[in-house]
Each structure stands twice: as C-alpha cells, then as structure tokens.
Structure 1
C-alpha cells in the first residue's frame, strides 16, 4: 500500500506591499531589504569660522547637543530602526506621513512642502566595483537651520561636499541651510551622469556584439539592459519636475539666490532625461537589430543549404536512373559507361558551381 507523502508547508516571506497592508496611514514600517541595524547620526555643524563634526550612536546624545547659530547637516545612516526614526521625527515635529515615507524604500521621488519644512525623497545612484548601477533610497528634510538626510547605507555620493565644507572651498560655509540642500541635491543629480555613461557604454558594447556575434546570450543581455533603463528612468524622470517646483515655490526656506543655483540642477536634470529617452529607444532598437541579424544569419545558412541541394539534385537524378535494376538498359553494358556517368556528374557539378558564383550566390 502506497503511503501518501506529506510535505511541510514553506513559510512565504511577506512582500513589501503585504508589510504595509492594513496599517494606518503614518505608520512607520521599514520596507527595505537591508539587514536591520541600529541607526547612526553623523552631524556636521558649521558657519564661516566654526566646524564641528560628530558621530552619535545614541539618539539621546544627539538630542542633548545644541548647535545654535550653526548650519547643521544631520546625516542619519540606517532607517530600519523604526523607534529611532519615530523619536527623531517627533523631536523635529515631522508629520507621521513624512516618517512613513522616510522608511518606505519603494517611495517614488517626491517633494512635499509643509509650514516649517520641505520634505523630499530621491534615488541616489552609484556604480559598484562590479560595474553595476545601484539605486539607494534617500530622504531630505529642509528646516530653517538644519538639513536632515536619511539613507539606508553609509556609502553615498557626498564625499566631495564634505571636503568642500571641511576645507572652506566655495561659498557653502557662508550660505544657509537651503544652499546645503541644493548642494546635496546637486551631488545626487551630478552622479546620475555616471549612471548614464555606464548605460551608454553597455549599449555600445551590445551593438558590437549584435553585429559581430549575435548569440542567444546577447538577447538576454539586451533584455536585461531594457529593464534597467526603464527602472533608472522611473527613478530619475520625476526629478526634473520636482526641481521646477522648488524653483517656483514661494516657501521662505528657499531664497532667491539658491533658486538661481537650482536652475543649474534643472538644466542637468533636463539633459539627463533627454539622454535617458535616447538610450531607452536605442535599447529597444537593439532587440530589433538582433532579430534582424539572426534572420540574416539564418538566411545565409538556408542559402548555402539550398545551393548544395540544387547541386546534388541532378547528380542524385542521374545516380537514381542508373541505380534501377532493369535488364534492358543499353548503357549498363557499355564498357566505359561508369566513367562516362562520373564525367557527366563532375561536369554538372563544376558547371553549377561556376554558374552560382557568376550570379554571386556563393
């Protein structure tokens, strides 16, 4: 008697959407896939004469620190510590919906203006040593003298900005928090150009492979590239509109001088969007080129096979006739009949090869 096998049920991992379902708006629920860890605050406070750089692993230590009269860049690394984010948000009187978006790593780029602050979500793109484009969720809160930055991992694109602050390069030490907000946004947008260059290089490589060696793996690479272009476009495309909103905003947190610099970021965002549109069309046309080249390659093979079949059809016809087992076939008793048949077949073979070459079919 056969026993019925009973397999244990596997626990299904909840998706990010399922993690948020049924929860009230404003609920702080981390949706990322990074390993949960404690949040760390890197604080940079400055003016034209003073620079204070501190690291706080305990939130109470940061809250006890006072930076009156200084512009403060509060860089929070790690957003999976939900109680930490909740306490920090309440300290700065942030709306619960803002805190929800800070820990929602799937949040699309956005800008929301509140009475006392401006909140923004963007994607920070950078290239890994393996030449892969990664997109990290990053959130900003612009206050009167403070800019809060929330990111998942410590790696970012702000090292150049940190050097400018430390070495008093440029005008940043003499400007307000709105200029710091612009500088952070400018660093993110400038790094988009590296991602665009990476896509351009990969498209050029695939174009060469499509023409020289259109193997099935090339089609897989093209499909992967198309998905990546669409993903990056979804991250970058809204940025142009968001920057335009900041320029047109009448919020007193952004001064007229800073709006002039934001126009430069807007120009870069427009250029990047135009390049992305071109690369999107090129990635789609690559598949058409691949299919066309594969079809041409197949046609070449079929042409050779057809020519070979055309050459051997008359030879097979002759061999078939003299392979019949009839007694009354005069040529079968001819002394040199075998050699004559071979001669005719060779002449036909050489003649047809010469004819095909003359027609440029070979």
Structure 2
C-alpha cells in the first residue's frame, strides 16, 4: 500500500481488505515507543518486556494467537591476528512478533539490519503471498546465513592459530587461546539454543506457519545443526591447542631447568676447589709445589670441559 500509514491505520486497512499483512521494524525501542504498538496488535506484556530490555537467549513462545521468537545475531569483527584480537564476534538480538496479519521486528545492536531483506521480499510477491510466516522464515534464514559466514571466518582464524601454536619459538600463550575460546562461546550461545525453536516450527508448532513454509524452516534447522557441530568442533580444537600450549611451556621449563642444572654443576667444580684451597691451613698438599697453581687451574678446566661435553651429548646444553 503506497503512502504513509500509522500502525493503527495500516492494520485496519489490512483487516478491512482481508488480505496482506503489516510489517513494522523497530530498533532498540523504549517502553513508551512500543506501548502503542503493543496495545494495537495485542502483544503480551511479558514478550514486550523481553523485547525492550533484550538480553534474551534464542527461544520461541506462544501467547494466544501470537508467536514471539528471539534470535541472537552475530557479526565477525575484522582484526589483524586472532592471537592479538580482543573481540572477534559481536552479538546482538532480533525479536519477532508474529500474528495472522502482522509481523513486528525489534532489533538490538548495530548490525544485522533488515532493510535489504525487506527489499528482497518486496521484489518477490510469491514469497510474500505466504503471509507473515514467510517473513519469519526469511529472518531465520538471514540470521543463520550470518552464522555460516562467521563460522567460516573463525575456522580460518583457528587454522592460523594452530599453525602459530606449533611453530618454533611461538609467542602464543594459553591466555590468548582462552580469549579466542570465549569468542567462540559467544557464537555458541547464539547457535545452539536456536535449534529447538526452528525444529518446533518445522514440526507444526503453530497454525501461523502454513505447511508450505514449514519445509523451509526444516532446511534452516539443518543449517543450524551444521553450524552447531562446527562450533562444537572449534571448542574441542581450542581445548587441544590450550593443552598443546601448556605442554610446550612445560617442555620449555624442563629444558631451561636442565640447562640451569648443567651450568650449576659446571660452576660447582671451581667453586669447590677454590673453597678447599681457601681454608688457609698451614699444611695442605700442592701448596709448596712450584706449578701447583697452574695444575689446579688445569684440573678445573679439564673437569669443566668434561662436564660440558657430557651435558652437550645428553642435550642438556
């Protein structure tokens, strides 16, 4: 319908015509901004409160003749190196109220806008003919596509980190890997809980989703399952990298301790002999020998050289 319409006028026009639906998009609304819309469309107060305050996990709830679905959106944050980045995954939230003749979306965060998605749907009247459920499917597919994109980029980062960890004289620490693991956990929180709501929609949870749209939700659910499996594999691989990093640190400490021990043993030889001949007794062997001093020095050098060669042969030095 061309022109400018208020939400009240739009829904009245749709219901008088008996065809079409209303799609309203909101970005981080406060209670006052959403209150009028909630009263017009009969939105449940608990769902409205969740939409305003956000910080929800992905879920699907049914209130009388209205569905309320929450998505966690993610965006890949560009960085120079995965071992130095403080943030890799930026998350947001997207809520959708679905009725028989309306869909209301509430977005939190500065990414995952739906303007281009609306243009794509407007250009495809056949999809729009399926009603508000087609919009909900398009949103779900859009969110999951971003999951796949972020997952592919994170996989490249993990490959680079794995190469760095096993490189000689690596500077990657376990703390850096834990930070990356925390970012993967952020992605996991967005992906895993979404599988259940999508499965319920694909299995006929509500009459608001026609049978011809349910199969599309099944396809989105398959994609989420694929992403969830990959994210779980990322978590296991990062745990392995942490163990490998700690193992390399332990090995390096053992190597350092061997070197310290070897040099301490070598230094102990002249220290012991100097201590013996520094006791100032009147009667001690070799004190009156003309070549006693160079002889003792030679003995010290010989013993130290022998110890050095022994430790080198054992790879302690």
Q: Report the TM-score range of the alignment, normalised by the length of the smaller protein.
A: 0.7 to 0.9
For 1:308 and 1:153, the matched residues in 2 are separated by 59
State the partner residue of 1:137: 93
For 2:251 and 2:182, the matched residues in 1 are separated by 26
State the partner residue of 1:17: none
Report if aligned partners of 2:21, 2:102 keep a CA contact under 8 Å in 1.
yes
- Cα offset, 1:156, TM superposition: 1.8
Partner of residue 56 from structure 2, selected from 94, 97, 107 = 107
Q: State the secondary structure of the residue aligned to 2:286.
A: helix
Partner of residue 227 from structure 2, selected from 261, 267, 272 = 272
Q: Establish whether residue 197 from structure 1 lines up as the match of residue 152 from structure 2.
A: yes
State the partner residue of 1:35: none
- Cα offset, 1:171, TM superposition: 4.9
- Cα offset, 1:174, TM superposition: 4.5
For 1:95 and 1:330, the matched residues in 2 are separated by 103
- Cα offset, 1:97, TM superposition: 1.8
Report if aligned partners of 1:123, 1:136 keep a CA contact under 8 Å in 2.
yes
State the partner residue of 1:327: 282
Q: Establish whether residue 77 from structure 1 lines up as the match of residue 27 from structure 2.
A: yes
For 2:29 and 2:136, the matched residues in 1 are separated by 20
Decide whether aligned partners of structure 1 residues 258 and 240 sit closer, same or farther in structure 2, where only a CA change above 3 A counts. same
Q: State the secondary structure of the residue aligned to 1:254.
A: coil
- Cα offset, 1:283, TM superposition: 2.9
TM-score, normalised via structure 1 length: 0.75
For 2:316 and 2:77, the matched residues in 1 are separated by 50
For 1:359 and 1:287, the matched residues in 2 are separated by 29
Report if aligned partners of 1:219, 1:287 keep a CA contact under 8 Å in 2.
yes
Q: Which has the higher contact order (CA 8 A, sep 6+)?
A: 2
Q: Establish whether residue 188 from structure 1 lines up as the match of residue 135 from structure 2.
A: no
Gaps of 5+ in 1: 1-44, 46-51
- Cα offset, 1:159, TM superposition: 5.2
Decide whether aligned partners of structure 1 residues 63 and 351 sit closer, same or farther in structure 2, where only a CA change above 3 A counts. same
CA RMSD, Structure 1 to Structure 2 (Å): 2.7
Q: Establish whether residue 338 from structure 1 lines up as the match of residue 293 from structure 2.
A: yes
For 2:119 and 2:9, the matched residues in 1 are separated by 27
- Cα offset, 1:264, TM superposition: 0.9
Report if aligned partners of 1:157, 1:188 keep a CA contact under 8 Å in 2.
no
Q: 1:112-141 CA deviation, whole Å, 9 max, x = no partner? A: 124422211111111345663221121101
Q: 1:74-97 CA deviation, whole Å, 9 max, x = no partner? A: 2112222x1221110110111212
Decide whether aligned partners of structure 1 residues 250 and 108 sit closer, same or farther in structure 2, where only a CA change above 3 A counts. closer
For 2:58 and 2:161, the matched residues in 1 are separated by 30
State the partner residue of 1:237: 192
Q: Larger helix proportion, structure 1 or 2? A: 2
For 1:159 and 1:323, the matched residues in 2 are separated by 89
Q: State how 1:1-362 maps to structure 2 within 5 Å.
A: 61-65=6-10, 66-67=13-14, 68=17, 69-80=19-30, 82-129=31-78, 132-153=88-109, 155-158=111-114, 160-168=116-124, 171-212=126-167, 218-362=173-317
TM-score, normalised via structure 2 length: 0.84
- Cα offset, 1:361, TM superposition: 3.2
- Cα offset, 1:207, TM superposition: 3.4
Size of the aligned set, in residue pairs, is 304
- Cα offset, 1:246, TM superposition: 0.7
- Cα offset, 1:53, TM superposition: 8.5
Q: 1:215-245 CA deviation, whole Å, 9 max, x = no partner? A: 5x83332332333333332232111111111
